[in-house]
Chain A
Amino acid sequence: MKYTKILILLFSFFILSHSYSDEKMKYKIYKNLRCLVCQGQNIGDSNSEFAQTIKTVINDKLDEGLNEREVYSFLAEKYGDWILYKPPLKNNSYVLWLLPYVIFILGALILFIFLRKNTIHKK
């Protein structure tokens, strides 16, 4: 009897944690998609007709077994990359992706030159 209770408890815990992670995944996807008919809102935050439909479609796609990346590519195929807050690395988005790294390297270079100059001065 005791073992049965433990098993039921574990099973319930498993089911709850599974559905919690599903919900978390759905919400993550909603948050990463732009509501095309709203002003600066994502799908998750919007109650517009469009957002409601997209949410239902996302839920259906996840139920069909698509993963997060496949859901994004399905919607990007239908609405273009504009629907994605994080656009994929493509010919026209290289600058967008590489610029932070370029700035970081340039900053590090300036810092290095400054520090080196200071060290030489001190010596």
Chain B
Amino acid sequence: MKKIIFTIISISLFLFFIILFDSLKINRVYNTEELVGKPIPSINLEYLNEDKYFNTSDLSKNQFTLINFFSSWCGPCRKEHKYLISLSEKNLKIVGINFKDKKQNANQFLNDLGNPYYLTLEDNTGKKSVDFGVYGIPETILINKNLLIIKKYIGPIDKKDMNEILRSSGIK
């Protein structure tokens, strides 16, 4: 009898430690791996400086498009801006989505730092950005012509990310 109880307790402890060990490997930080390969939503976004809308499904005209969420009040957005300028100089199509910002401040930001975007759209409530799985800015999404997400970067992109974007979009 004691043998049976000992076996049951041993199996239970073994299972418990296996699960404990396994759970240590779980990444507790939100990452975007699940979004890679998924399509971007087809939604209408208003142009920053025009009273008309752009549907994101029209991005299928580009071979690759980089979608960047930015704001004038966002410090890290200033940090990554030079890399976006470099990417636009390499002829990568970049769409800027101005997130929860004032139009005047957004334009001032682009006048001061340069405008890498071939399209500048706005999401002044931040609600449409939820459709893209955005939870803070800056965030950058690289999509292909099938509108599938190839890469998603949370936080400011750096030189390494810039080179990765260039490689992924076949420019470098």
Residues of A bordering B, CB below 8 Å: 36-37, 49-50, 53-54, 56-57, 60, 75, 78-80, 82-83, 95, 99, 102-103, 106, 109-110, 113-114, 117
Contacts and interface: CB of A to CB of B under 8 A. Distances in A.
Which 8 residue pairs spanning A and B have beta carbons closest together?
A78-B133, A53-B126, A80-B34, A36-B30, A57-B130, A36-B135, A50-B135, A82-B30
Nearest to A35: B135
A95 B17 CA distance: 13
Interface residues of B, number: 25
Interface string B123-149: 001110111110110000000000000
Contacts, number: 52
Contact of B4 (A36, A75, A78, A113): A113
Contact of A103 (B1, B12, B131): B12
A113 B5 contact: yes
B82 to A, nearest CB: 25
A60 B131 CA distance: 13
B19 A95 contact: yes
Main DSSP-derived SS at the B contact region: helix
Contacts of A60: 127
B43 interface: no
A18 B20 CA distance: 44
A79 B130 CA distance: 9
B1 A117 contact: yes
B125 A56 contact: yes
B127 A106 contact: no
Contact of B19 (A78, A99, A110): A99
